[in-house]
Amino acid sequence: MFSTIKIYHNPECGTSRNTLALIQNAGIEPIVIEYLITPPSKAELIELIRSAGLSVREAIRKNVPPYSDLEIVREDWSDEQLLNFMLQHPILINRPFVVTDLGTRLCRPSEVVLDILPFPQKGAFSKEDGEKIIDENGLRIK
Catalytic residue list = 13
Pairwise CA distance, residues 115 & 22, whole Å: 11
Pairwise CA distance, residues 85 & 67, whole Å: 9
CB atoms within 10 A of CB 133: 18
Pairwise CA distance, residues 79 & 24, whole Å: 34
